[in-house]
Amino acid sequence: MTLTEKDSQYLWHPYTQHKTSQTPIAISRGEGALLWDENNKEYIDAIASWWVNPFGHSNKFIADAIYKQLTTLEHVLFGGFTHEPAIKVAEKLIEILPKNQQKIFFSDNGSTAVEVAIKVALQYFFNKNEKRTTIIAFENAFHGDTFAAMAASGISFYTQAFQGMFIDVVRIPVPVKGQEEESFEALKNVIKTHNCAGFIFEPLVQGAAGMVMYEADALAKLIQICKENKVLTIADEVMTGFGKTGKTFAMDYVSEDPDMICLSKALTGGTIPMAITTFTQEVFDAFYDDDINKALFHGHTFTANPTGCAAALASIDLLQTDEMQANIERINKSHLEFQQKIENHSKVITARTLGVIFAVEIKSDAEESYYGSMRTKLYNFFIDKGVILRPVGNIAYILPPYIMTDEQLQKVYKTIEEAIEMV
C-alpha cells in the first residue's frame, strides 16, 4: 500500500469531508521553501504550511537547538517548577513585544492561546466582582477551534453545529476602508448595551477570512474606545506575529497597546507546537491575591515544554538577523510589484499586500463560498503546477517562508496569473 492508501484507512484529517475530498498528498521531505511527495514530485510551499514556517523546512539552526535541548532537558512539568529555556523566551519576548506586556503564559496552540486570553478577560472582572460577560469580536474573524475561540470566530459554517452553546459574543464590522465609522459606532453601541469584558481582534489582517486588511489608525481608535470603557483588548497575533506584516508584530504599527497578545504559529519556526498569551502587569495583578480562588486555574500538561522553548529562542534569533529582515523587505517589494502588475487585470477585483502577505480577489460569476467550486478549481490547478496555495473562496493569497528565493516567488506569481486566466 502507498502512504496515501494507508492514510485513508486510518486517518481523519482537519477541515475535510472524507467522502467527497481528494486523497491527501503524502509529503516525505522538505528543505527551504520546497516539499517533495512520496513520488518525488516537488512543491513550493507558498503558504508556509499554514503560516507556521518562516525560515524554511528542516532548518538546521533550529534543529540543532532542539537536539541540544532534547539531550539536556526534554521536558519537566511547569507546575511548581521552572527552567532556563522558558525564562529566556519570556525575557526575549518582553524585550520585543509592545512595552506594556509584562507576563507570559504558555500553552500549546493558537486556539488555546485565545482560550486563555478570553478566560482571563472574563475572570479579571469576576475577580473584581464586576459583572462583565460579553466578548466583542470582528465579523468573519478566526480565532481557533476550541469552544471560546470558536465562539469568537465568525465563520459560520465552521461553527453552526454548536450555535446556542457559546459564551456571549457580539460582533462588529471590521474597519476596512470606508467602513471605519460604522465599526467605531458599532463598538460604542455594543459597549453601551452590554456588559463587555473584552474585545478580541486579529490586528491589521484577518487571515482565515482571506487576508482582509484594515488600517492601524482604525484599530488604535477601537482600542481607545475600549480603554475609555475599561474593556480589555486582546490582539490575536497568532497569524500576524513574528514578521509577517513587515514588523515583528502587527501591533508595532498601532499607536495603542493591547492588554493581551496571543502568539503561536511561527513562534517555533514551524517545528514544535507551542503558544503564548502575554499580559500587562495590571491584568496579572487582578489574579494576584491571598485568595487562592482568584488564581488562573488553567494549564496544559506540556506547558512551557523546554524543547519548544529552545525552538522558539532559535526562531527569534533567526528572525532578528539582518539577513532575515532583508528577506522580509525583499518579498514585500516583490509582492508590491506583482500587485501593480495584476490589480488592473479584468478578472481581478482587488489585490493587497502587507509585509510578506499578498492576496488577490478574483472575479467570479457565482457568489463564491469558502469551499466553493472556484476554490476547488484554483486549488487543484495550483497543486497540479507544484505550488501549494489554499485559496479562500475566490481569494488566492501568498504567505511564503521568508527564505523563499526570487525565482520561486516568480514561479508562484506566474502560476497565480495562469490560474486567473484559467477560471
Q: How far is the CB of 105 from ligand PLP (least distance, A)?
A: 16
Which region, judged by CB under 6 A, interacts with ligand PLP, from 77-85, 139-147, 245-253, 343-351? Answer: 139-147
Smallest distance, Å, CB 311 to ligand PLP? 15
User: CB nearest ligand PLP: which residue?
Assistant: 110
Site string for ligand PLP, 219-258 (x = CB under 6 A): -----------------x-xx-------------------
- Quick check: 214 binds ligand PLP (CB under 6 A)? no
Q: Judged by CB under 6 A, which of 56, 207, 243, 355 binds ligand PLP?
A: 207
| Residues in region 89-118 near ligand PLP by CB under 6 A | 109-111, 114
Query: Of 62, 122, 125, 143, which lies in the binding site for ligand PLP, with binding defined by CB under 6 A?
Result: 143
Nearer to ligand PLP, 202 or 361 (CB): 202
Closest C-alpha among 193, 202, 211, 283 to residue 241 = 202
CB of 212 to ligand PLP, least distance (A): 12
d(CA 391, CA 388): 10
Q: Which is nearer to ligand PLP, 151 or 238 (CB)?
A: 238
Q: Minimum distance between the CB of residue 2 and ligand PLP, rounded to whole angstroms?
A: 28
Among 59, 57, 60, 61, smallest CA distance to 43 is for: 57
The torsion defined by the Cα of 316, 222, 99 and 271, in degrees rounded to 10, comes to: -20
CB of 363 to ligand PLP, least distance (A): 26
Assigned C-alpha cell, 113: 492561546
Helix 406-422 × helix 322-342 angle, to 10°: 30
Number of residues that bind ligand PLP (CB under 6 A): 14
| Touching ligand PLP, residues 280-299 (CB under 6 A) | none
**Under a CB-based contact definition with an 8 Å cutoff, are residues 183 and 219 in contact?**
no
Site string for ligand PLP, 157-196 (x = CB under 6 A): ----------------------------------------
CB of 206 to ligand PLP, least distance (A): 8
Q: How far is the CB of 322 from ligand PLP (least distance, A)?
A: 28
Q: Shortest distance, CB of residue 80 to ligand PLP, whole angstroms?
A: 27
Distance of closest approach, residue 394 Cβ to ligand PLP, in angstroms: 20
Task: CB nearer to ligand PLP: give 223 or 286.
Answer: 223
Smaller CB distance to ligand PLP: residue 114 or 251?
114
Closer CB to ligand PLP, 110 or 258, in the complex: 110
CB 1, min distance to ligand PLP, A: 30
CA 42 to chain centroid: 26
Q: Which of 115, 180, 202, 259 binds ligand PLP (CB under 6 A)?
A: 202
Interface residue with ligand PLP among 264, 334, 353, 394 (CB under 6 A) is 264
User: Contact residues for ligand PLP (CB under 6 A)?
Assistant: 109-111, 114, 142-144, 202, 207-208, 236, 238-239, 264
